[in-house]
Amino acid sequence: MLTHQTIDPNAPSKKPFVLLRPFIALWHWLLPPSQAHADRQSRSQRFAAIAVVTLVCLAAAGFAVFYAKPIQDAYQDWKANRLVKQARSLVDQGEIYQAVMKADEAYRIAPENVEAIRINGEFYSRMNRPEAIYFLEKLQKMEVATTADLQLLVRALSAADREKEAQELLEKLISERAVSDSTLLLARQTFGKDVYVFNMLPKLKEYVKEHPDDYRNRFRLAQMQVESNIPSETRAGVAELWELAALDKAEGLEALEYLSRFDNLPPDESLRLIDRLQNHPRATPAHGVLALRRKLKMYPEKRNAIFLEGIEKYGEKERGELLPLVRWMVEEREFQRVLSLLPEDQAVTYQPLLENYLTSLTMLSRMKDLERLIEDPRVDMLLTPAMSAFYRMHLAYVTGKPPAELRERMEQALKRATTEAQEKLLLSIGTYGEKRGIVDIAEKAYEIVSQSRAPAMRMQGLEGYLRTSRANGNTEGFLNAIREAAKLMPDNQSYLEQLVYVNLLTGRDIELSLRNAEDLLKKRPNDSFRKLLVSLAWWRLNYPSQAAENLKRIDVTNLQPGQLATIAAIARGTGYLQESRNVARVIRADAPMLPEERSFLRAATL
């Protein structure tokens, strides 16, 4: 080794940085850099160095063995968290399937990762899958479940028909967590209106009594009291709303907005409401327009003066503050005033104003101006592709284009509105298709809206889906819609009647439907439709005498054609041939009905 060393004895000595010298000396002791350094070490130094190196290696091996699992878990958690972020990003982009796959992969990589469990619970809950219960209960057992997680678990249990567990969990959630608007809405949907009021009113009253400065929950309590339909509670709720309305806080303004929904306020309270809406420190032009709406209801003979007052107060506002006035004018069909107030150059700079401007042109039949604006590049840049497609669809109709072209444009509008998730526009497309006889496209639009996460929007979609699926003879769609509507509005007896009826038409849950039908009939013994439900249930169970008994003294004047067809088939099947012919005779051959009802009509007219 000495023959390979090139040592220059005259080379200047290069000493390392002073703070590094102890570490370099230790390193040279453990691992001599040259044979000369090794030769200068004593036997005991060599053994000590070997012992230190051995101990370090053993410590490193022990550390690796002891911490291998935590290190692996940390890596898997990091990887799972990254996949969860990717999944949420994919949801925002509308890539739902890919997002679900990413969430599933995250859980497989790290089964104990909280975010992976949570996102799977969310996804399965949205899909109404029972797997959601497993993931959300796992969060609960790990004691990391948030209020939102527990709310999802309540919905999942309710969707799985585990109502008792859902109600117990909700009661626990209400008693242990802060009350929020989302919790109150969930309680209303889970308990039903009457039980909801019975359970929640005492709890909120007790809370408000202990926290009189919590204006948010005072407002919630007042809302609940007003909506309870209990006269004493309603009066107390209105009184509380007026107390809150006197406050110069945000809750005071919300109380005024809520009071403005009441159509039957006494004149003195209406005047008080108008004054407060106009003079509240936090009031905006939107609240001023609410005051003008109320004033117009009180003094319809002063219509022109009230609109002039609105134009004088808010006509010079910026476009965002001008919008409530323009929207109100459109609702009141003051289309010419809109065009007079709103210059075209201003309308094409702000989409909400532009939409109202285009509506006014449409209602005034100024189709040339409408077509010119739709083709204007400024408008094309401002409108979303869905809105542009909607107006082009409308132009195709008003200009008398062939039905095939109108249908094509409506399908384009539906596709783009679906892509952009514009639920209000989808409702408009549904209404448009209903009015113009293109009911199949209308049904698709309503079906999409019926899956909305916003309860009010979802309810509108379901109502449209019910109408159009029946008109199109789509029994499965009608059944799905009525089932969801009954779940969303459990207090609505009409939805329950329709659910029982379509279950009996399709031969589902006959014995349960019979019990429900008999319970409904007990509440209204003279209701013809409920008599039909009981009769149909007995007929499905092959008890013709009971079926015929419930059809006696039934009033058929207010029943739909499909329901009449059902009565005719039951009457024929139970031996009342003449009565069956009499009922079938009044049914038009082209009357809209479900396929099962039409098969009943054919059976009755054989």
pLDDT at 18: 66
pLDDT at 464: 92
Of the candidates 243, 247, 223, the residue with the CA atom closest to the CA atom of residue 234:
223
467-498: per-residue pLDDT in tens? 999 888 888 999 999 988 888 887 788 888 98
CA distances, 206 to each of 187, 201, 233, 243, 516 (Å): 18, 9, 15, 18, 37
Mean pLDDT score, 506-526: 87
pLDDT at 427: 92
Mean pLDDT score, 586-590: 83
Question: Which phi and psi angles does 415 have, rounded to 5°?
Answer: -65, -45
Share of the chain above pLDDT 70, in %: 92
Of the candidates 318, 323, 257, 248, the residue with the CA atom closest to the CA atom of residue 282:
248
259-306: per-residue pLDDT in tens? 888 888 888 888 988 888 888 888 888 889 889 988 888 888 999 998
297-323: per-residue pLDDT in tens? 888 899 999 899 888 888 888 888 888
320-364: per-residue pLDDT in tens? 888 899 899 999 999 998 888 888 888 888 888 888 888 888 888
Report which of residues 426 and 225 the model is more confident about: 426
CB 285 within 8 A of CB 325: yes
Q: What average pLDDT is seen over the chain? A: 84
Q: How many helices (H) and strands (E) are present in the chain, helices listed first?
A: 35, 0
Q: 8 pLDDT exceeds 70?
A: no
User: 493-604 in CATH: which number?
Assistant: 1.25.40.10
> Within 13 Å and on the Cβ side, how many CA atoms surround 96?
6
| Residue 7: band (very low, low, confident or very high) from pLDDT cuts 50, 70, 90 | low
Q: 448 pLDDT exceeds 90?
A: yes
25-36: per-residue pLDDT in tens? 777 766 777 777
46-72: per-residue pLDDT in tens? 777 778 878 888 888 887 777 777 777
Per-domain boundaries in the chain: 413-488, 493-604
| Residue 230: band (very low, low, confident or very high) from pLDDT cuts 50, 70, 90 | confident
pLDDT at 341: 87
Q: 545 pLDDT exceeds 90?
A: no
List own/partner pairs for 364-373 with CB under 8 A and 24 or more apart: 364/335, 364/336, 364/339, 365/398, 367/395, 367/398, 367/399, 370/395, 371/395, 371/399, 373/344, 373/348
Report which of residues 479 and 180 the model is more confident about: 479
| Residue 560: band (very low, low, confident or very high) from pLDDT cuts 50, 70, 90 | confident
Residue in the structure block whose two tokens are 């005071």:
252
| Residue 11: band (very low, low, confident or very high) from pLDDT cuts 50, 70, 90 | low
* Residues 479, 481: Cα–Cα separation, whole Å: 5
Q: 445 pLDDT exceeds 90?
A: yes
Mean pLDDT score, 518-532: 87
pLDDT at 181: 67
Which amino acid, one-letter code, is at 67?
Answer: Y
